[in-house]
Amino acid sequence: MPICELRLPNNYPMENGKDVCDVALDTTLKGLGIPDPKDREFRIKSIDSLTDPEVQVSFGCGKNQYEEFGKDGEFMPTSEQLKTTCENILNEVRQFGVKKVILDGWKGAAFMIRSPEKKDFDLIIPERFKDGIVVKGDIAIRMVFSPSVLDSLKLDLENNEEVFKNILELFEGDGGVELQFPLEAETDIGVEVDFCDVGNENNFSDEEMSYIMHRIESCLDSGVTSDRDKETTIWVRQGSPELLYKVYDGTI
């Protein structure tokens, strides 16, 4: 699931932000051979420290990222694909004032779109989690809310704060919750959970990552996040992203 972030300097006037993101995502899906053309998301943010607009496209890579590649199929773009795709994105969005394009890859990541209908099923606890979900190192949780849900968020702030607390308390480790409010977002609510310092020896398996995502999903059934008509995505990631390619004003 590629996520495109268009980052703008504070008060930067750009009427074509969605067009920039669409171009970046279309180019990414085609250039890297991502099989599902609807598998995409964008956000537009204002960043005080920036002087020029920039685009970052992040996506999961490694095994079991896309069903179309089969069981244990691996998605790992070649260096040439990454180089060409990154340069093509910049060539397309330079006309909008974008000066920098970054491609980031996350290994061992898991992604889900919450179903519009609540489904009851028995969630099997992996053996590793019988005594709780213990995480080595820091846990960073981001709740990303589009402008369309801000009023609901403010109306029931106490209940919504309980949701954030419940997600954090799923894990035994140090961490916090950051709320982000982009200028524009394709998805109403995005939940991102990063296990920042997980090493290879402590990586969670696909089964364990699936369990974690479903536990997060269960926490969302209250407050502003309880409305399943609001599109909600959950992305759980391990370790740090790998900078796969970067171009700035046409040069590496």
Residues 37 and 91 in one domain: yes
**Residue 189, pLDDT score:** 93
**Residue 229, pLDDT score:** 87
Residues 95 and 125 in one domain: no
Name the pLDDT band for 251 (thresholds 50, 70, 90). Answer: low
Domain extent at residue 227:
110-238
Does 88 have pLDDT greater than 90?
yes
- What does the pLDDT average to over 221-247? 88
Query: Rounded to an integer, what is the distance from CA 57 to the centroid of its chain?
Result: 10
**Residue 198, pLDDT score:** 63
Token output for 64: 């079991």
Residues 160 and 88 in one domain: no
**Residue 32, pLDDT score:** 93
CATH of the domain at 51: 3.30.429.10
* pTM for the structure as a whole: 0.88
Domain tally, the chain: 2
Number of Cβ within 10 Å of residue 233's Cβ equals: 19
**Residue 252, pLDDT score:** 47
Residues 114 and 206 in one domain: yes
Residues 144 and 228 in one domain: yes
Residues 140 and 233 in one domain: yes
192-205 pLDDT per residue, tens: 999 987 665 568 98
Residues 99 and 187 in one domain: no
Token output for 70: 């089969």
Polymer length of the chain: 252
Does 29 have pLDDT greater than 90?
yes
Does 85 have pLDDT greater than 60?
yes
Residues 85 and 135 in one domain: no
125-152 pLDDT per residue, tens: 999 999 999 888 889 999 999 998 888 7
Residues 214 and 119 in one domain: yes
Burial 128-164 (b: 16+ CB within 10 A, else e): ebeeebebeeebebebbbbeebeebbeeeeeebeebb
- What does the pLDDT average to over 213-238? 89
Residues 154 and 99 in one domain: no
- What does the pLDDT average to over 6-25? 94
Does 173 have pLDDT greater than 90?
no
- According to DSSP, residue 20 is labeled H
Does 27 have pLDDT greater than 70?
yes
Does 17 have pLDDT greater than 90?
yes
Residues 83 and 178 in one domain: no
Residues 102 and 121 in one domain: no
